[in-house]
Amino acid sequence: MQSLIKIPLLCCYVLAVGILAACSDSAEKTQTPPKLPTPAGEVVLAPDSPKKAYVKTAKLSLAQHPLLEPLAGKIVYDESLTSRISSPVAGRVVATPIALGTSVQAGSTLLELDSPDVADAEADFAKAQAAANLASHAFNRQQELYAGKAISRKELEQAQSNFSTARSDLLRAEDRLKNLHLSARQADGRFALRATLTGVVVERNVNPGMEVRPDFEKPLYVVTDLQHLTVLMEVFEVNIGKIKLGQKVSVTVPAYPGETFPATVEYIGQVLDETTRTVQVRCKLNNPDGRLMPGMYATIKVESAADDLAFVIPLTAVFTEGDADYVFIALDDNRYRQRQVEIGLRLKDQAVVTKGLETNETLVTEGALMLRAEEEVETESTHQP
């Protein structure tokens, strides 16, 4: 009886073992194949990975690039279009001098002086003119007397000498009036100080009734053309070879953030400042709308020529390991490959890449460090036993 009971139990046990074995075989057959390892230097993010929100990309293209760090500069007058005007004579200001900000033409009167110097010059001219007339009449009369043999030749020669001396004195008095831009018919002791070029009165150091002299330290007026200015910048001697006459530069000023103003290099200094080791460079800056002002501080960017192109990328795209610089290139929406690059110039927020990139590739501009960290995680998980 006991042996009959053991037989069904044994059958049940065998059947259970068979079912478990069959289930195990089925599970092994439906198991997911092992994940292929990611190639070295590549990072793969899942399509729904939240980390993708931190990755930003941009298409690469060649462009003109900075040649050196932005330079500090200052806007000043264009000296070739600026006149600092002082009085050549002493005198007292009469009437009201022309006001600051006034537009003037070349030859416009800026102020008038009641000048003893002018009065003396006019008196000297009148005296020289009278003496020359008298000497001329005397010489003519002596010629007539000599022709009638009423005087000696010596007396004629003396009259001729007197006439030559008087004429020289008259010419000298005329030249003095011309130098002061005075008319020979003027005899009022007044002097008009005039503008020597067309422009705007930007400085005035004279007031009504003021006594002025030629030896004043400051000019009475400064007149300049504010539509044409100059930008001064100091270039270190190691960079002076990158600056050429006629080169185009970009100027920015704090007053107009985000705007650039074109300028052109028109003079490179011939002397090196031994204290600062810099050379002064002057750039021509057009100012047709008058928004720029002398005295403004400026930042000058010196860029390459139109045919000298390179990749200019954000510095956020670059990470450094050891002595090498790297970026990530997006292969598709989920795959990124690490790439070593060579940087020619590293700026505050940009880098000029000279080797390692190709046109139309997709560069990771933000999130490179996050991808690098993800790459390390994938590498560690791959090498785990």
Domain with CATH 1.10.287.470 in the chain: 117-187
Q: What is the DSSP-derived secondary structure letter of residue 329?
A: E
Output the CA–CA distances (angstroms, integers) from residue 356 to 44, 146, 310, in the order listed: 21, 104, 11
Checking phi first, is residue 367 left (phi over 0); if not, alpha (psi -120 to 50) or beta?
left
Give CATH 2.40.420.20 domain extents, the chain: 42-66+308-383
CATH code: domain 71-80+225-302 is: 2.40.30.170
- Confidence at residue 210, expressed as pLDDT on a 0 to 100 scale: 93
User: Any idea what the Cα angle at residue 111 is, between residues 108 and 115, rounded to 5°?
Assistant: 125
Q: How far, in Å, are 211, 241, 291 from residue 204 at the CA level?
A: 14, 41, 21
Q: Alpha helices, DSSP H only, in 31-115? A: none
* CA 222 and chain centroid, separation: 24
Name the pLDDT band for 9 (thresholds 50, 70, 90). very low
CB burial of 249-261 (b: ≥16 within 10 Å; e: otherwise) equals bebbbeeeeeeeb
For residue 56, give both structure tokens: 């930003």
- What is the pLDDT at residue 385? 52
- Mean pLDDT for 253-281 is 95
Reported CATH class of domain 117-187: mainly alpha
Contacting residues for 66 by C-beta, under 8 A, at least 6 apart: 301, 302, 303, 304, 312, 345, 347, 350, 352
Encode pLDDT of 300-310 as tens digits.
999 888 888 89
Instruction: Identify the band that residue 280 occupies on the pLDDT scale cut at 50, 70 and 90.
Output: very high
**pLDDT tens digit sequence for 125-138:** 889 889 999 999 99
The pLDDT of residue 164 is above 60: yes
Within the chain, all domains assigned CATH 2.40.30.170 are found at 71-80+225-302
d(CA 375, CA 372): 5
What is the CATH topology of the domain spanning 42-66+308-383?
Answer: 2.40.420
